[in-house]
Amino acid sequence: MVLSKMEDFIENLPPMDLMRSEKMTFVQLIIPVESAHRVISYLGELGLLQFRDLNSDKSPFQRTFVNQVKRCAEMSRKLRFFKEQISKAGLFSSTRPVTPADIGLEQLEVQLAEHEHELMEINSNSDKLQQSYNELLEFKMVLQKASGFLVSNKTHTVPEERELDENIYSNDSYVETASLLEQEVRPGRSGQSGLRFICGIVCKSKGLSFERMLFRATRGNMLFNQAPADEDIMDPLSNDMVEKMVFVVFFSGEQARTKILKICDAFGASCYPVPEDITKQTQITREVSSRLVELEATLEAGIRHRNKALSSLSVHITKWMKMVRREKAVYDTLNMLNFDVTKKCLVGEGWCPIFAQDKISEELQRATFDSKSQVGTIFHVMDAIESPPTYFRTNKFTNAFQEIVDAYGVAKYQEANPAVYTVITFPFLFAVMFGDWGHGICLLLGALVLIARESTLSTQKLGSFMEMLFGGRYVLLLMSLFSIYCGLIYNEFFSVPFHIFGGSAYHCRDTSCSDATTAGLVKFREPYPFGVDPSWRGSRTELPFLNSLKMKMSILLGVSQMNLGIIISYFNARFFSSSIDIRYQFVPQLIFLNSLFGYLSLLIIIKWCTGSQADLYHVMIYMFLSPTDDLGENQLFWGQRPLQIILLLLALIAVPWMLFPKPFILRKLHTERFQGRMYGVLGTSEMDLDVEPDSARQHHEEFNFSEVFVHQMIHSIEFVLGAVSNTASYLRLWALSLAHSELSTVFYEKVLLLAWGYDNFAIRLVGLTVFAFATAFILLMMETLSAFLHALRLHWVEFQNKFYHGDGYKFKPFSFSSLTEDEE
């Protein structure tokens, strides 16, 4: 009677939007060829139909609209080229609306080809002019620097020459082994072994290795002079300004000249002819300077012309890129449809939410009317064997929480959605570990800034970290609010307690405890009305008291959340009409968990309410080792020992209850189904066995009993062991809360208060700075990330594994709004 009333109450509960995914239907579209493009475009604007690829066996080059896709890809390439050129020129693409009339794709293709040809011609001419300008500039620098080397090379004194003639060069056989400088100044031999030189310019970074290579190639028979260039020169390959140096190499012989020219070529050095005559040098320098002036004027005119062309493109490029992306997406979708040549139509299949059927029908009628087609698009519902996609309608607030759940796995179709509970439980468990209302206010200010600027930030391209932070701004908001709440319970403001809700319930026993921090405190009034009494801070029993409080609180929160997960599994089984899962999975799991850890939670609450000194560790350990022994001083209530025996027996019975019945019942149902005797019990759908949330999905022709049994055994063992490990895992709430509190205390007492103890402004300023940086980077960034990850683990593992399978796939409708700039 009670169960029937409970079922009626559950049936009459109003549906929750996020609790179950939207009901989907499989549809077929038969589209006339003349209206196909417009139909797909209108459906892309609506964004509520996911097409199925009916040509998955064909390569991209075998599809019907491959040429149109290639044309769109080519236009995308040209537009990316234009955008790159606009960015290089330092111009910005305009975002204001374009006043001229819209153009078609064919006209745009022609215009883009003309603009590309014009721009490439401008760039080609500009590159040639720039190369000529660079060469003339290098030639001018070589002329200026090399003339100094050539003049200084002829200034040897006459007495030195005569001394060499008389003392050294009198021996004719010495000519073969004479050094290069001696040959240079020896009179009368310039015709046979005259000194020659090569002038040029090379990158300064290569100067040392260049000189070393020349020295080795000529075996030291050369003279290398160098000087830095007066200004940087543009590298034609990288378009970067490069520091260069001018060099002059003096050598003798044709063989040395060949080697030096090859080395210059290998090092990318440019060689220029410099005459020895100073008059000719001056004349050439004058001619080069005049040509440089002319080239500068020509280059400036070319840049102005190119910028003008790019400016005209920048006004339209954003709109054109959006247009081409849409067209390419339309043709990519058309390639997923079957092309019926005989009937002149395209056949498409896909999934859509049931609520969207009327909207899709309206768009199809509008497309037929606008394309002036005599035949309308046929839209009808079909049966499908495969499981539908999962679609949750979210808003900017719930979307981040749904993403947290989807990161673990997308919900199976119509499976209970953990995001409904995650909206509250996730930020709350985070706050239990992060509880400090001072730090919570800092997080709140950051969240409010992101929310206040969301209209601006949503249109900007953010970095990966900032984008993640902005996407979770409402998660951050709830996390900060719950942190303030838990901080008020812990009575911690940057680890400092405050008497916010009245005076302390404790005072000194006598005048000997004037400091009131170590001993002598007695309770003299009602308990502190909200949160932890501030007198606990600094007392000798502070750590044992807070440890006990937070540890027991963690167990209570963990058992409550795990029970919630098991209860949700009941609603899943009920929704999928799986009475087997209710009887042989939900019931034994609930009994096993609460016989052990539900009982532990009850003992914690009773101990808190009665103020008993019972040792709960002793009670739980001897519940297994000696369940019949007398509890003595550890007894919390009358009838505790027989209750413990009953709960222990129930926990032992629950294990085989989970393990054995379900596989044997599934085998029996499968056998009777194919003998034709149980159709009424099994229902009319071919999918009834498949919708069992935890049953192994088998082909109807085969039933592998051993596989099903092993699967159930693994699941049962996992739950039994997980009940212990998951409960222990929730103790991370206590551990991280304690770590956060102790870190805050260390930074406050050992940094801020220590610095404030000195009567020196500089030391106080340094202490305040270190405290601010430690708070910002360690407590507000690293601790936030740590608590976030631990809360994530508690939801993914401890909570969701009780009911959530996450083996579905997302509903991805064809929508123009989901196209990004990276779409090809």
- For 545-568, what is each residue's pLDDT tens digit? 889 999 999 999 999 999 999 999
pLDDT of 782 reads 92
The helix or strand, by DSSP H or E, that contains position 540, with its residue range, turns out to be none
Contact 550, 531 (CB under 8 A): no
Summarize the confidence of residues 327-342 as an average pLDDT: 89
Residue 97 DSSP code: P
Contact 532, 497 (CB under 8 A): yes
Cβ-in-10-Å burial (0-12, 13-18, 19+) of 330 comes to buried
pLDDT of 633 reads 85
Predicted TM-score (pTM) of the model is: 0.78
Long-range contacts of residues 708-713, Cβ cutoff 8 Å, at least 24 apart: 708/663, 708/666, 708/667, 709/663, 712/658, 712/659, 712/662, 712/663, 713/659
Contact 519, 533 (CB under 8 A): no
- Of the listed ranges 303-317, 570-584, 590-604, 668-682, the one predicted with least confidence: 668-682
pLDDT of 285 reads 87
Contact 440, 484 (CB under 8 A): yes
pLDDT of 37 reads 92
In whole angstroms, what is the distance from residue 591 CA to residue 719 CA?
12
pLDDT of 407 reads 93
pLDDT tens profile 100-150: 456 788 899 999 999 999 999 998 998 888 888 888 888 888 888 877 777
Summarize the confidence of residues 736-755 as an average pLDDT: 91
Structure tokens at 646: 């009953």
pLDDT of 97 reads 47
Q: Say whether pLDDT at 690 is over 70.
A: no
Cβ-in-10-Å burial (0-12, 13-18, 19+) of 737 comes to buried
In 3D, which of 462, 439, 467 has the Cα closest to residue 777?
Answer: 439
Give residues with Cβ within 8 angstroms of 605, minimum separation 6. 556
Q: Pairing between strand 270-272 and 196-203?
A: antiparallel
pLDDT of 253 reads 85
pLDDT of 237 reads 63
Q: Say whether pLDDT at 99 is over 50.
A: no
Q: Who has greater pLDDT, 190 or 630?
A: 630
What are the helix (H) ranges across 187-339?
190-193, 207-217, 254-266, 278-314, 317-334
Q: Say whether pLDDT at 643 is over 90.
A: yes
In whole angstroms, what is the distance from residue 188 CA to residue 194 CA?
10
Q: Say whether pLDDT at 162 is over 60.
A: no
Summarize the confidence of residues 782-805 as an average pLDDT: 94
CA 621 to chain centre: 46
Q: Helices 732-747 & 783-793, crossing angle to 10 degrees?
A: 170
In whole angstroms, what is the distance from residue 677 CA to residue 684 CA?
13
Query: How many CB atoms are located within 10 Å of the residue 329 CB?
Result: 21
In 3D, which of 286, 266, 282 has the Cα closest to residue 274?
Answer: 282
pLDDT of 420 reads 93
Question: Mean pLDDT of all residues in the chain?
Answer: 84
Q: Say whether pLDDT at 668 is over 70.
A: yes
| Rounded (5°) CA angle 112-114-120 | 95
Contact 93, 86 (CB under 8 A): yes
pLDDT of 373 reads 84
**Residue type for position 783:** E
Q: Please compute Rg for the chain using Cα positions.
A: 42
In whole angstroms, what is the distance from residue 422 CA to residue 406 CA?
12
Long-range contacts of residues 463-467, Cβ cutoff 8 Å, at least 24 apart: none
Q: Say whether pLDDT at 522 is over 90.
A: no
- Of the listed ranges 41-50, 243-252, 335-344, 505-514, the one predicted with least confidence: 505-514
In whole angstroms, what is the distance from residue 790 CA to residue 637 CA?
36
Structure tokens at 482: 């719950």
Q: Say whether pLDDT at 497 is over 70.
A: yes
pLDDT of 94 reads 58
Give residues with Cβ within 8 angstroms of 789, minimum separation 6. none
- Half-sphere exposure of residue 170, counting CA atoms within 13 Å on the CB side? 5
Q: Who has greater pLDDT, 225 or 683?
A: 225
In 3D, which of 181, 206, 197, 186 has the Cα closest to residue 147?
Answer: 197
pLDDT of 176 reads 38
What length does the chain have? 824
pLDDT tens profile 24-61: 999 999 999 889 999 999 999 999 999 999 998 888 88
In 3D, which of 35, 44, 54 has the Cα closest to residue 328?
Answer: 44
- Read off the pLDDT band of 513 (50, 70, 90): low
pLDDT above 70: percentage of residues in the chain:
85
CA distances from 735 to 433, 635, 728, 781, 783 (A): 8, 29, 11, 18, 12
- Read off the pLDDT band of 417 (50, 70, 90): very high
pLDDT tens profile 444-458: 999 999 999 988 888
Contact 141, 230 (CB under 8 A): yes
Where do we find the tokens 């609506």? 46
- Of the listed ranges 117-131, 179-193, 461-475, 576-590, the one predicted with least confidence: 179-193
Query: How many CB atoms are located within 10 Å of the residue 240 CB?
Result: 8
CA distances from 91 to 315, 417, 801 (A): 11, 48, 54
- Read off the pLDDT band of 677 (50, 70, 90): very low
Contact 402, 419 (CB under 8 A): yes
Q: Who has greater pLDDT, 627 or 787?
A: 787
Structure tokens at 534: 């501030």
In whole angstroms, what is the distance from residue 242 CA to residue 522 CA?
80
Contact 818, 424 (CB under 8 A): no
Structure tokens at 675: 């003998």
- Of the listed ranges 47-51, 78-82, 384-388, 526-530, the one predicted with least confidence: 526-530
Query: How many CB atoms are located within 10 Å of the residue 97 CB?
Result: 6
From its phi and psi, is residue 298 left (phi > 0), alpha (psi between -120 and 50) or beta? alpha
Q: Who has greater pLDDT, 724 or 234?
A: 724
pLDDT of 450 reads 93
In 3D, which of 23, 47, 31 has the Cα closest to residue 818?
Answer: 47
CA distances from 803 to 389, 570, 693 (A): 19, 8, 9
pLDDT tens profile 605-625: 999 988 888 888 888 888 888
pLDDT of 821 reads 60
- Read off the pLDDT band of 681 (50, 70, 90): very low
pLDDT of 161 reads 37
Q: Pairing between strand 378-382 and 506-508?
A: unpaired
What are the helix (H) ranges across 522-660?
542-575, 579-581, 587-593, 599-610, 616-625, 640-659
Contact 346, 338 (CB under 8 A): yes
Q: What backbone torsions phi and psi does residue 250 show, to the nearest 5 degrees?
A: -95, 135
Q: Say whether pLDDT at 239 is over 50.
A: yes
Summarize the confidence of residues 723-752 as an average pLDDT: 92
Q: Say whether pLDDT at 196 is over 50.
A: yes
In whole angstroms, what is the distance from residue 356 CA to residue 368 CA?
18
Q: Say whether pLDDT at 5 is over 70.
A: no
- Of the listed ranges 40-54, 130-144, 162-176, 740-754, the one predicted with least confidence: 162-176
In 3D, which of 424, 461, 387, 250 has the Cα closest to residue 697?
Answer: 387
Contact 780, 439 (CB under 8 A): yes
pLDDT tens profile 477-487: 999 999 999 99
Q: Who has greater pLDDT, 540 or 648?
A: 648
Contact 569, 586 (CB under 8 A): yes
pLDDT of 348 reads 93
In whole angstroms, what is the distance from residue 10 CA to residue 13 CA?
5
Residue 248 DSSP code: E
Q: Say whether pLDDT at 423 is over 50.
A: yes
**Residue type for position 656:** P
Q: How far apart are the first and last CA of the chain?
A: 63
Q: Say whether pLDDT at 691 is over 50.
A: no
Contact 650, 587 (CB under 8 A): no
CA distances from 18 to 401, 416, 554, 796 (A): 11, 9, 28, 18
